[in-house]
Amino acid sequence: MNDLIYSLLEYLTLFLVEWYIFKKFTGIVVSKRYFFLFGLIYFLASDFCAQYGIPMTPIFFLVIINHFRPNQAPGVRFIQACYPPLVTSYLRRLAAIFIIPHILPVNSQEVLTEQPLIFLSYLFTLPLFYFFIKLAALDFDTIQDLDREHYLRVAIRSTSFLITFYLFYLLQMLLHHNLPQVFPVPYLDDPFWQLPIFAAYSLLLLWDMVNLSKATRQQLSFNIASEEKRHLDDIDNYNHYIVNLLNDKIRYQTDYYNYLDKIYKRLASGKKVVHVEESPEFLHQLDEVSLNQLEHIKINIIRNQLHAQLLKLKRQGIQLQVNCLSDLVKVPISDLEFYQLINFIFNHVSACPKRRPSRFQLSYFKINDKNILLFESLISDKHSKEGFKDIKAQVLKLYPDIQNLLARTPQVSVEITKTEEQINYILEIS
């Protein structure tokens, strides 16, 4: 009866410690219902696999990671699945060899084999884990956000050696359980080999923690530098916008005064001005329907930008159509980022004379709380037999700043498709 109680306490303590380490390394948080379900599965699977010496814990965590992080790199998922049992196994042996024998009149073998002492060794793992992460100055929030390049750099340098060492130990445990005559004692539990192998285990783990700490610092520096560059780019784009606005104002004033000067000279010559045969370019305006439709765009800088860009197209003789089915009030990105995206689309529309549209349609609508902006550039009236062709990757290669913007704002997506007669740009903001 006592053995059953200690066994239950051992599995409970082990699950709580390993789950805490797992949550720290992966950032995966589950509801209470799932937590109790995983705890029950952990207990039943551990009890069953212990009969055959099968290392269950890495498989258990790998299944959970595959469920919650299906798009993560397989190598990263495997490393994160192995880390909780690896760290727990190491800390338990650290307590069994160096701590508990100095507190109680027992030796390390007794701590590793007797039920009450096994449970006691697991109680030491969580305080020791806190001590090591403080010693190595690990920032788990940054570890969870490590990009593929930094993570693989650490994995290749040190984690791969540590995982290989741990898997070798698990293999020994499996062989020892099923072939006790050939493998009577695993090396890590053999009194002769215990200290040197544990020393190697310690060096590999410390080396890996130091590398992880270094990688997090490098990632943090990279993130700070990227954020600074992004802010500088935003300021630069905003400055360009202000300069263009001032240039447009100066151009308008110049055209306006030149036009008045022509009328004055015509009057001064005694000629009667009956009508203006051709209105000057600066008097070209959008039609009333388009202006009313743009009033649905409640973000001032975006409405003004769309007005200016559409006006440029109209001055080129391009037919325009604007349809806004609802009000655009707020989006989860900055106005400058929104400005960049729209500027990119209009720049691509005007970049190549061969793609100069004869008609241009702008539509805005909402679907399931997603803001959809559809830009249709109709190049010709002939109809292609081919379907729409995705040219997004091809276009974005020419605009690396837009690629970076889309990479850092997952709530924004851009689709670009093309046929012989038109190009469609779909900007979706959720």
Domain boundaries, the chain: 2-229, 286-429
- pLDDT mean over 6-30: 85
Count of CB atoms within 10 A of residue 416's CB? 21
Q: Is pLDDT above 50 for 278?
A: no
Give how far the C-alpha of residue 128 lies from the chain's centroid of Cα atoms, to the nearest Å. 32
d(CA 308, CA 182) in angstroms, rounded, equals 82
Q: Is pLDDT above 60 for 408?
A: yes
What's the pLDDT score for residue 388? 65
Mean pLDDT, the chain, integer: 79
pLDDT single digits (tens) 99-151: 888 888 888 778 777 878 888 888 888 888 888 777 766 767 666 666 666 66
Please give the angle made by the CA atoms of 29, 165 and 86, to the nearest 5 degrees: 25
Count of CB atoms within 10 A of residue 236's CB? 11
What's the pLDDT score for residue 277? 47
Give how far the C-alpha of residue 344 lies from the chain's centroid of Cα atoms, to the nearest Å. 23
The reply to whether the predicted model has a pTM over 0.85 is no
Angle, helices 74-94 vs 2-26, to 10°: value is 130
- pLDDT mean over 34-58: 84
Q: Picking from 39-43, 166-170, 413-417, which range would have the lowest pLDDT averaged per residue?
A: 166-170
210: helix, strand or coil: helix
- Domain 286-429 top-level CATH class: alpha beta
Bigger pLDDT: 231 vs 67: 67
What's the pLDDT score for residue 414? 92
Mode of pairing for the β-strands spanning 319-324 and 370-378: unpaired
Confidence band, pLDDT 50/70/90 cuts, at residue 64: very high
N-terminal to C-terminal alpha carbon distance within the chain: 57
- pLDDT mean over 344-371: 86
What's the pLDDT score for residue 401? 84
Confidence band, pLDDT 50/70/90 cuts, at residue 279: very low
What's the pLDDT score for residue 211? 77
Q: Is pLDDT above 70 for 199?
A: yes
- pLDDT mean over 171-195: 68
Phi (first) and psi of residue 352, to 5 degrees: -115, 125
